[in-house]
Amino acid sequence: MNTIFLRTLLFLFSASFLLLLSSFQTHAQSISGRIFSIEDDEKEALTFVTVAISGTSTGTISDIDGRFILQLPAGFDGKITFQHVGYIRRELTVAEIRSNPTIFLEKEVTELEELVFEAGENPANILMRKVIENRKNHDPARFPQYSYKSYTKDVYHLDADSKTADSLARVIKEEKLLKKPKKDSTSLKFIKIDSAFDTRHLYVSESVSETKFIEPGLKNETILATQISGLRGGLFAAFSGLYQPFGFYNDILDIFDKDYINPINSAGLSQYDFYIEDTTFFETDTVFVVSYTPKKNKRFDGLEGLLWVHSKDYALTNVTAKSLVANSKIDVSIQQRYDKILGQWFPVQLNTDIIFKELKFYGRNLILENRRYLSDINLQTNYTQKDFSDIGITLNRINNKEQKSILDANRAVPLDSMELRTFVAADSLYKNLRVVEGVAESVLTLRLNLGKVDLRVDDFLGVNSYEKFRVGAGLETNHHFSQRLTLGGYAGYGISDEEWKYGGNLKYEFEKRTDTYVLFTYQRDLREVGTQRFFEGKISSIDDLIRSFQGNLFDRHETYKLSLNRRVAPFLYAQTSISTSQQQSTYNYSYDNTDYASNFFEINEVSFSFRYVRNEQYLDLYGKKVLFDYDFPVFNFKYSHANTGWLNGDFDYDRFDASLEYKKKYFLGKSNVLVRAAFVSGDVPYGHMITGLGNSTSKLSVPEYFQTMGIYEFLSDKQIGLFFNHNFGNFLISNRVMKPEFVIYHNAGYGTLSHPERHQGTEVIFSSMEDGYFESGIGIKKLIRLNFVDVGYIGFGFDTIFRHGAYALSSTSDNLFFKFNMKVNL
C-alpha cells in the first residue's frame, strides 16, 4: 500500500470520526448544577443527592461538594427529580435548571418512623452481609497497584455557636448599665472578632501531590507544591492526607489517630443496626442508601451515617460517617466518594470535618475542614519495587513561582474570597507561627537547623542513675553541606561521675532509594551492662528510654566502629559492622578464668543484623528522615562474633539476639506480644551478657520489661522472655472525668548461666532463671482524665503486678508491685 493512499485513507477516517463526533455533540445534551441544603437562610452544599430523570432509572449522584452533571436523551425537556434522605423531594424542568443551576432542598419536618419487621430478616442486613463478604475485593489497600494525583485543602476557621448572639447581647446590656468605656469594652472585642472571622479564615493550606503504590504495601507520596497561610515550609501540609482512612473497609478505622469500629466488619451485623432508607442510580444500576448506627447498649467507639451500596457489585459508591464517642472533645465526620475505574471502585474525593467542641475563642468553635480530590487515577501502572524506597512522603522544596504554577494547574476547586483574603492577611499577621513551624520540625527530627549544620537536640540532656544528669551538645552537617556526606560530633558531662564523654561520626550515602550507606563512629563514653542494640542509628522505643533512666552499672569504653547498611528487600534492612573496643567496668568486678583475670577488656567484634518492619514508612523532611508509620510484625536479629586472633582481642564468643513484636486490634481491645531471646557461647564478660530485663525500680509501667524483677537481679548466657498484655477497652463508666480501660498482663522468662564462678565482684550479685520467672497482673488505664488544652485528655491509671512461681519472694507484700500509667488521647 503506497503512502499517498494510506494518508488519504487516514484523512477520510479522521474526517468521518470528527463528523460522527459532531453529530453526537449536536444531539446529546446534559445539565449541570450545584445542590444546597437551606435552613435558617444559611446554605450548605448537599452531598450525594440522587438526580434522575423523573419516572426512570436513569440518573446520577451529586459529589461531595453538591455538584452534578446529568446526561439527557436527545431533545429531552421534561422533569428532573432531586431526592435525598431526610429532605423534601423536588422536581424541576430542564429549562428551570438551565436558567438557575443552583438547587435548594429543604429538610423534612417529620421524623422517619422506626422500621419494624414482623417476619423474615431485615433486607438491609441481607444486603450488608454481601457487602461484608465482598469487602476484600473492593478495598483499595488490597489493589495490586495504582497511582493518582491529588489536590488537598485544609481550612481552619472559627464558627459561632448558637449562644454567641445571646451572649453578646447580654454583655452589651451589662456594659450599658455599668457605663463601661467603649475602648475597653468586651462587646467591642466581640464585634471585632466577629468582623474579622466573617471575612477570613484562621488558617488555609493547599497542596498538590503524586502518589504511587504497588504490593506489598510499597507507597510513596511526593508533595509537588504547597501554599500555607503565614508559613513557609510544607510540614503541616505533609500530614493533611492522613485525616481519614483511604477506603472504608478495615475492621478498625483510624480517624484522626483514634480507632473506631467499622460497621463493615465480620461482626458488624451484631454491632450495628442497618436500614434501607432509599434507592438511587449509578448509570442504569440500582444503588441502595443504607443508614447505620450502633445498637443500643453497645459500648464501643462507633460511627453513624449512610452507605451507598451498588446492587450488583456490593461495593460502596459513597460514604458518610460521624463519630459517636461519649464525652469526646472533638466530633469527626467524613465523606467519601468512589468512581468505577476499569471495573474497580476507587476513591475520588475524601472530606473530613473536625469540630473541637471545647476549644472556643469568644464563643466560636475551632473547626478543621479537610478536602482531598483525586485525579489522573491509573490502576495499571508499570512500577516495580525498584521504583520505591522507604520514604512514604517526600517534601519537595521549590521556588514560589513553580509552586504557584503547579497549584493553579491542579486546583480542583477555586479558592473563594475568604480563602484568598486569609492568604493575604496571614502573610503579615502570622510571622510568629513560623517559629512554631521550626520548633515542630526540630521536635520531629531532633535537629535544630543552623544553616549547613544542625544542632543535635538529643545530645542536650541525658538521665540515668549513674550520671544522674548529663548535659552536652552535638553538631551534625545536613544536606545543605552535602547530599551524601554527613559529619557529626558530640560532647557531654556527667554531673555525678564528673567525667566528660565525647564522640564523632562520618556517614557517606551511596544510594538513597535503598538506604545504602557506610557509617564510621568513634565513642569515648559509657555503655550500660546487659544492653544490646540491633541497629546503629535506629531510635529505641519509649519503653527502652524509660527503662534506661534506671541504669546504674556502666562500662567505660573507647570504641571505633565501621558499619554498612542497606535495604535488601521491601521493609527488610541489613547491617554489618566491625569494631574494636577497650572497656573497663566502673563497678567492682573482675572476669576470672584460667587464662584471664581483669576488669579491663579489649573486644574486637564483627556483627550482622537484620530488621523487618511491615509497612515501615518515613517522611523525608528536606533531607531528614522521620518515621511516621509502620505496622506489625517487627522482627530484629543480630549475630555477633569476637575473636582473640583479631588485633589481640581478649575474648572469643558468639552471640545471637532476636526480638519479635506483634500487635493486633480486635473488637474487644488490643493485644500486644513481645518475645526477646539471646544466646551467648564462649568467654564473655559481665557487661556483654544478659541481665534479665528487670524494671522494678521504675514507678512508671514499662510493659516491654519485667515489672517485678530487679534491674540486674538475674544473669544469663541463654535467655528468652515473653511479654503479653491485652487491653479490653472502655468498660462500665464513660464520662468526662473517667473512661477506664481494663488491661491484663502476663510475662514469663527462662534463662541459664554456664559459668557463674567467672564473674567476681562485690557489686555483681545475681541469680539465674533455670526454674522460670513469672509475673501477672491487671491494670486500669484512664481511670482519671484531665483536660489537655481543650482538645484531648491526659489519662492516668495504675497497674498491679504480682511476682509468682519459683522466684517469688518470701513475703506476699514484697511480690506485689504498683505502677502508674499515662495515656494521651482525644
Average pLDDT, the chain: 84
Q: What's the Cα-to-Cα distance from 128 to each of 118, 122, 263, 579, rounded to whole Å?
A: 20, 10, 9, 61
Instruction: Output the CA torsion sign for 238, 240, 242, 246.
Output: negative
In this prediction, residues 524-535 reach a mean pLDDT of 87
Q: How confident is the model at residue 594 (pLDDT cuts 50, 70, 90)?
A: low
Find the mean pLDDT for residues 241-253.
85
Q: What is the pLDDT of residue 305?
A: 94
Axis crossing angle, helix 164-178 with helix 186-197, rounded to the nearest 10:
150
- To the nearest whole percent, how much of the chain has pLDDT over 70? 85
Instruction: Measure Cα distances from 649 to 557, 560, 657 in Å.
Output: 14, 14, 22
Mean pLDDT of the 757-768 span: 82
**DSSP symbols for 167-208:** HHHHHHHHHHHHT--GGG-HHHHHHHHHHHHTTS-SEEEEEE
- Mean pLDDT over 223-246 rounds to 76
Angstrom distance (rounded) from CA 447 to CA 460: 11
Tally Cβ neighbours within 10 Å of residue 733: 12
pLDDT at residue 10 is higher than 60? no
What was the pLDDT predicted at 376?
Answer: 94
Q: Is the pLDDT score of 156 beyond 80?
A: yes
Cα 139 to Cα 137: distance, rounded to the nearest angstrom: 6
Between residues 429 and 754, the one the model is more confident about: 754
**pLDDT at site 721:** 95
Residue 9, pLDDT > 50, answer no
Does residue 86 or residue 677 have the better pLDDT? 677
Q: Rounded distance, CA 628 to CA 395, Å? A: 14
As to burial, measured by CB atoms within 10 angstroms (0-12 exposed, 13-18 middle, 19+ buried), residue 481 is: middle
Question: 707-719: per-residue pLDDT in tens?
Answer: 999 989 999 999 9
The more confident residue out of 146 and 228 is 146
Q: Please check whether residue 527 is in contact with residue 688, taking contact to mean a CB–CB distance below 8 angstroms.
A: no
Tens of pLDDT along 688-698?
Answer: 888 878 889 88
Does 491 score more than 70 pLDDT?
A: yes
- Tell me the three cell numbers of residue 619: 517522611
Query: Which residue has better confidence, 452 or 363?
Result: 452
Which residue reads 464558627 in cell numbers?
159
Dump pLDDT digits (tens) for 771-795: 999 999 999 998 998 877 667 788 8
> Cell digits for 682?
564462649
pLDDT at 638 over 80: yes
42-45 and 67-72 as β-strands: parallel, antiparallel, unpaired?
Answer: unpaired
- Cα atoms in the Cβ-side hemisphere of radius 13 Å centred on 175: 17
**Would you state the cell numbers that stand for residue 645, as one nine-digit string?**
586472633
Residue 323 to residue 163: CA distance in whole angstroms: 23
**For 17-31, 62-76, 541-555, 745-759, which range has the lowest pLDDT when averaged over its residues?**
17-31
Going by pLDDT thresholds of 50, 70 and 90, the confidence category of residue 48 is confident
Query: Which of 209, 210, 146, 150 is closest to 342 using CA atoms?
Result: 146
CB-CB contact of 304 with 313 (8 Å)? no
Q: pLDDT for 305-345, tens place per residue?
A: 999 999 889 999 999 999 988 778 888 999 999 999 998 99
Alpha-carbon distances, residue 704 vs 222, 631, 676, 688 (angstroms): 36, 18, 9, 20
What is the predicted pLDDT for the residue at 169?
52
Mean pLDDT of 467-488: 94
Is 53's pLDDT higher than 90?
no
- State the pLDDT confidence band at 436, using cuts at 50, 70 and 90: low
Residue 633 is classified by DSSP as -
Quickly state the pLDDT bin for 555 (edges 50, 70, 90). Answer: very high
Q: How far apart (Å, rounded) are the C-alpha atoms in residues 703 and 693? A: 11
**Sequence-ordered list of residues with C-beta below 8 angstroms from that of 306, at least 6 positions apart, any chain:** 48, 85, 277, 289, 290, 291, 292, 318, 319, 320
Strands (E), 683-791: 718-730, 741-752, 759-760, 773-788
Beta bridge partners of 654: 641, 681
pLDDT of residue 435: 67
Grid cell locating 439: 520548633
pLDDT at 429: 57
Instruction: Compare 104 and 75 and report the one with higher pLDDT.
Output: 104
* Mean pLDDT score, 383-389: 90
Percentage of the chain beyond pLDDT 90 is 41
